[in-house]
Structure 1
Amino acid sequence: MWRKILRPFGVVSSLGILLGAICFFTALSPSLVPRSGLLQGVLAGCCFAAGYGIGVLIASLWKWLELPVTRTDIHRRIYFGALAIGAILILAALILAAGWQNDVHRAMNLPPVESVRPFTISGVALVVAAILLAIGRLFRRAARTVSSRLSGHLPQKIAILAGVLAALALFNFIGSEVILGQGFKLFDKTYARVDATISDDTIAPADPLKTGSSASLLDWNTLGAEGRKFILATPDAEQISAITSRPALEPLRVYVGMGSAEDADTRAQLALDEAIRIGAFERKVLVLATPTGTGWMDPSAHFPLETLLDGDVATIGVQYSYLPSWLSLLAVPEYGSESARAVFLAFHDYWAALPADSRPQLYLFGLSLGAMNTDLSYDYYDIVDAPPNGVFMAGPPFTSRSWNQITHDRDAGSPAWLPTFRDGKVVRFMSQKGVPDHGTVWADTRILYLQYASDGIVFFSPSLIWQRPQWLDQPHGPDVSPKLRWFPVVTFLQVGFDLLTATSTPRGHGHVYDGGDYMEGWNAILKTERPPEERESLREAMKAQDL
């Protein structure tokens, strides 16, 4: 009777039920970032479906290999035993969920939660799991349909295998070409409209030294939404002097939007021409800043840079996408690296040809996807004769080339979430605790990574499905729950959700980098050595602006 009731929902595998319940239980355990009850329910439903699917797959392979099975009466006991154990595990997870969430909250100095809404979690999880299991049943039906058609012409096992492969091909086509393909087109149109929108308060600047002014080589309307914000947010000399109590210049900012030119090389040349026009190469420091996927330039990173240098700095940004970083990485990953490389080559060639004693110091900066593309903008052969003075990268995505190699080859005994690489002579890592003192002299060309241990964008990896990550070795990072554990498959999904919600954390955690941490990073890499009281004054000014 119970099998007939449960059969429409696909819950007929005792092993699937048991593994699904185990995955549900572990899904609610601590991960990197806090979650709402709704998001916990979505994650728990996905994990239950994944566990159930694995159980069904194991049972199907067992049957396909014609291995021995239990008697009917024993199988019935196992089935109802699995249901009972599964129910106990799910109930226990809902009871423990609030405590687990509070472990994550404590790690980020957040107030505790009274409840994580167990009814919300269970209700949402039920809906999500039912949808995913229904898709799984459609897959099985498609595979069986193909295999039954082939069974008269092929051996049974071969026919079953061919049916599974055919179903995989069909679902892959629907998922990648139909759903994702159309989804990307929709996202592209939506974000293109957002990027082109000009609000009433974004009037083109009158100052001839600002990009988009009447004297500029670039039309204000072509800068994109983020470019216009970046130019208008430039602090003035008075604002900087109020913090430092020293005379200051107004910083120079150049921004080229995607609408300014059709290809990366032309946009890079436009940026160079505009930089020359406004005297960017006459400043003390020149920064090539690669934006995030949407073209965003984080004010929390640029305000402390400009204040520490008393405004004697020019910052260059060139847009390569208007999609969010994760979409840009999936849809057009090559655009960012092509743009960053074009900008670097254009500026570096011009800069390297200037007299060494009169040209500005050259720094590279990137946040998130911008960090990955900054790393891809140059190679050894480009800079061996004239290296930049430093490279500062914040929140590098897990796919970043050099970051992966450096983390893998870190000095023995240093944690993966804050590596030491070759005694910190060239490359150093920092967290919320500042830049560690390695007891060695930092080279003239300094490379610095800012990353938080709770940043899923940095620490996600496909290998989490089957392999425990080294960043979970003791001790954990300062903002990571000490109760976070690795579970096959589940941790992959947990950190995958953390990746997608990494910007929902409080400032100074996850993928929301704090202006105070940027300040400490810039102070170290620029060798400005501002006194602690001045840095504290700057920190307070940034807090007042929520930077």
Structure 2
Amino acid sequence: MRMTRLRLFSIPALLVGLVFFAASLTPSMIPRGPLIQGVLGGLVTALGYLAARIVALIWYAADMPVLTGKAARWAVILCSVAVLVLFGWTLMSSMGWQNDLRAKMGMKLSDERGLLVMLLAAAVTFALAFAIGAAVAWLFRRLRSWFYRIMPPRRANVLGVIAVALILFVITRDGILDRVVTGLDEGYAAAQELFDTAPPPPAQAGVPGGPESLIDWGAMGQPGREFVTSGPDAQAIAAFTGRPALDPIRVYVGRADGDTAHERARLALAELQRLGAFDREVLVVASPTGTGWLDPGSHDPLEYMHDGDIATVAAQYSYLQSPLALILETTTGLDTATALLEVVHDYWKTLPPDDRPRFYVHGLSLGAWSSMYATNLFRLVNDPIDGALWAGPPFPSNFWNYVQNARDPDSPWVLPRIGDGSLVRYASHVADASDAAADWGDMRIVFLQYSSDPIVFYDPYSLWRAPPWMNEPPAEDASSHMSFMPIVTQFQLALDMALSFGAPPGHGHAYYAQDYIAPWVQVTAPADWTDADTERLKAHCDNGFQMGCTND
């Protein structure tokens, strides 16, 4: 019995797992709380343990020499002491590393009590992972013993591995995962349907979903209803600017407003025409995030700086949160953004150049990705758009990657310079896209990206090599203790993506009004606008992340 247990659990493999745990304690892009760090530590410990067991199996299968007797015991003792010293040092240092990063982001510092929470969470997580692994191993042994009855051992081993892999694939991909995704999609759809019974349709004829509107209020969905009924009106804008103002036009088509992307796009165009959107000074085609949400911190300031003489249109493509929509409904988002931009832009091109609005595109996060995809070469030549502001562009975005890799080699990866700055510029929480070697050309493109945003700077190849930004001096809100470690860095950055939405405003993936304002000024060049106006609007909108700036 004793020998069976020793074979089932390996002390050397656990030591390798603890090395992985120690590595996971080093800081990454987003500060981690004790519970999150514990879960991460437990997972990477299990991963290190598994990797060590696999290497050991290969070693034994190759009939390589192994230590035995007293030499093996002393090797285990010495390695245990070294690993425990390393683990203890990183454990004691981890709180300082995390607090250094928290201080740079203006977050509350953690204390020693979090260490106990972290260790307990890690132990539970590792135990669960170990139990799952033991169950898989048990399944393999049962299948292999059955195959032994009908075929030679070598063939039975191979088929046993294949059978277990197929069973796990079917259970996770075609069973659990499909049901979870379907449940999430239906859950978000149901949540939006529940909103149908809450507020009545707007009474104003100038609001989509109201009297004479071509868009069904009940099918618009909660994000769309909030978008078209919120934001500053003419009175609020005039009170701030001291100039006459118009009520901004906001058009939103819900996913349930049409069966296809082109059907919804044509409905959006018809509503724009009904409301006189093409008589305005500025027209913005915006792409929402996965659930259909549009950030008021971006749209409200733009309406102030253009005296309300602006129309914005968007179309919903999903009910899922952006991370799920990014993985599961990528094509839907790209198709919807392309259809909307194509239909609206094609109509806009038919209007006289001196009697049509200036045309801009915009998107945040997954909306930035789909907007960039839709803004292809045909939108940038012949009769091009006037500009774009893309915030928090996700790392897979082809156009963003193309521009990033065209940067001046002497400029940082997180805030690059592109040529002379006449076409493309970058902004962040410390840069407003005003600094460039040349004046703007006919088209203006700005990327707004925070240096601590893992949605932007995650690198799939960090499994075995450092991302480009890790080879440069750390940014203002990055830890000087961050270093690359194969496998572990990949897990850290993946976890950072999940945590980035809860980062303080101005960090991670938490984009907010103050950092949109100056880039919008650069992109849309509002008439008679001054730096003092920018600062005054920032102060007016200083009411928190995701709250817009409709308050006085």
Tell me the TM-score normalised to structure 1 length: 0.94
Post-superposition offset of 1:409: 2.9
> Which residue of the partner structure matches residue 337 of structure 1?
334
Does residue 1:140 correspond to 2:137, yes or no?
Answer: yes
Give the superposed CA RMSD: 2.1
> Which residue of the partner structure matches residue 287 of structure 1?
284
Post-superposition offset of 1:62: 1.2
Change in 2 beyond 3 A, CA 1:73/1:143: farther
Residue 372 of structure 2 contacts residue 397 of structure 2 at CA under 8 Å; is this kept in 1? yes
Q: How does 1:382-461 map to 2 (within 5 A)?
A: 382-433=379-430, 434-435=432-433, 437-461=435-459
Does residue 1:95 correspond to 2:92, yes or no?
Answer: yes
> Which residue of the partner structure matches residue 540 of structure 1?
539
Residue 103 of structure 1 contacts residue 483 of structure 1 at CA under 8 Å; is this kept in 2? no
- Deviations 1:305-326 (CA, angstroms, capped at 9, x unpaired): 1111111100001000010011
Q: How does 1:22-33 map to 2 (within 5 A)?
A: 22-33=19-30
Please point out which of 113, 123, 126 is paired with 1:126: 123
CA distance in 2 between partners of 1:371 and 1:318 (Å): 13
Does residue 1:515 correspond to 2:513, yes or no?
Answer: yes
> Which residue of the partner structure matches residue 479 of structure 1?
477
CA distance in 2 between partners of 1:3 and 1:120 (Å): 33
Residue 205 of structure 1 contacts residue 213 of structure 1 at CA under 8 Å; is this kept in 2? yes
CA distance in 2 between partners of 1:500 and 1:202 (Å): 33
Q: How does 1:142-541 map to 2 (within 5 A)?
A: 142-150=139-147, 159-198=156-195, 202-433=199-430, 434-435=432-433, 437-528=435-526, 530-541=529-540
- Partner SS state of residue 501, structure 1: helix
Post-superposition offset of 1:198: 1.7
Residue 411 of structure 1 contacts residue 423 of structure 1 at CA under 8 Å; is this kept in 2? no
CA distance in 1 between partners of 2:389 and 2:524 (Å): 10
Post-superposition offset of 1:192: 1.1
Change in 2 beyond 3 A, CA 1:204/1:130: same
Residue 281 of structure 1 contacts residue 359 of structure 1 at CA under 8 Å; is this kept in 2? yes
> Which residue of the partner structure matches residue 9 of structure 2?
11
Change in 2 beyond 3 A, CA 1:216/1:133: same
Does residue 1:34 correspond to 2:35, yes or no?
Answer: no
Residue 196 of structure 1 contacts residue 224 of structure 1 at CA under 8 Å; is this kept in 2? yes
- Deviations 1:383-416 (CA, angstroms, capped at 9, x unpaired): 4221100011100111111111222232212221
Q: What is the identity, as a one-letter code, of the residue corresponding to 2:454?
A: G
- Partner SS state of residue 312, structure 2: strand
CA distance in 2 between partners of 1:95 and 1:2 (Å): 35
Q: What is the identity, as a one-letter code, of the residue corresponding to 1:170?
A: I
> Runs of at least 4 residues of structure 1 off by over 6 A?
1-7, 152-155
- Partner SS state of residue 357, structure 1: helix
Residue 17 of structure 1 contacts residue 82 of structure 1 at CA under 8 Å; is this kept in 2? no
CA distance in 2 between partners of 1:12 and 1:119 (Å): 25
Q: What is the identity, as a one-letter code, of the residue corresponding to 1:476?
A: P
Residue 17 of structure 1 contacts residue 86 of structure 1 at CA under 8 Å; is this kept in 2? no
Change in 2 beyond 3 A, CA 1:155/1:467: farther
CA distance in 2 between partners of 1:453 and 1:4 (Å): 51
Q: Structure 1 stretch 84-93 or stretch 278-287: which is displaced more?
A: 84-93
- Partner SS state of residue 354, structure 2: coil
- Partner SS state of residue 425, structure 2: strand
Change in 2 beyond 3 A, CA 1:53/1:346: same
Gaps of 5+ in 2: none
Post-superposition offset of 1:479: 1.4
CA distance in 2 between partners of 1:458 and 1:361 (Å): 28
- Deviations 1:298-353 (CA, angstroms, capped at 9, x unpaired): 00010111111111100001000010011112222110000001101100110001
Q: How does 1:60-99 map to 2 (within 5 A)?
A: 60-99=57-96
Post-superposition offset of 1:50: 1.2
Change in 2 beyond 3 A, CA 1:98/1:312: same
CA distance in 2 between partners of 1:486 and 1:121 (Å): 22
Post-superposition offset of 1:233: 0.8
Q: Structure 1 stretch 192-201 or stretch 315-324: which is displaced more?
A: 192-201
Q: Percent identity?
A: 36
Change in 2 beyond 3 A, CA 1:154/1:465: farther
CA distance in 2 between partners of 1:140 and 1:39 (Å): 28
Change in 2 beyond 3 A, CA 1:247/1:2: farther
Q: What is the identity, as a one-letter code, of the residue corresponding to 1:265?
A: H
Post-superposition offset of 1:105: 0.8
> Which residue of the partner structure matches residue 53 of structure 1?
50
Residue 231 of structure 2 contacts residue 296 of structure 2 at CA under 8 Å; is this kept in 1? no
Residue 106 of structure 2 contacts residue 504 of structure 2 at CA under 8 Å; is this kept in 1? no
Post-superposition offset of 1:170: 2.1
Paired residue total: 544
Q: What is the identity, as a one-letter code, of the residue corresponding to 2:91?
A: L
CA distance in 2 between partners of 1:461 and 1:147 (Å): 39
Q: What is the identity, as a one-letter code, of the residue corresponding to 2:470?
A: L
CA distance in 2 between partners of 1:2 and 1:521 (Å): 67
Post-superposition offset of 1:463: 1.1
Gaps of 5+ in 1: none
Q: What is the identity, as a one-letter code, of the residue corresponding to 2:404?
A: T
Q: Structure 1 stretch 529-538 or stretch 217-226: which is displaced more?
A: 529-538
- Deviations 1:409-443 (CA, angstroms, capped at 9, x unpaired): 32212221112222323222111112151212322
Residue 234 of structure 1 contacts residue 253 of structure 1 at CA under 8 Å; is this kept in 2? no
Change in 2 beyond 3 A, CA 1:410/1:82: same
CA distance in 2 between partners of 1:97 and 1:466 (Å): 23
- Partner SS state of residue 424, structure 1: coil
Tell me the TM-score normalised to structure 2 length: 0.93
CA distance in 2 between partners of 1:116 and 1:469 (Å): 33
CA distance in 2 between partners of 1:50 and 1:436 (Å): 46
CA distance in 2 between partners of 1:162 and 1:414 (Å): 53
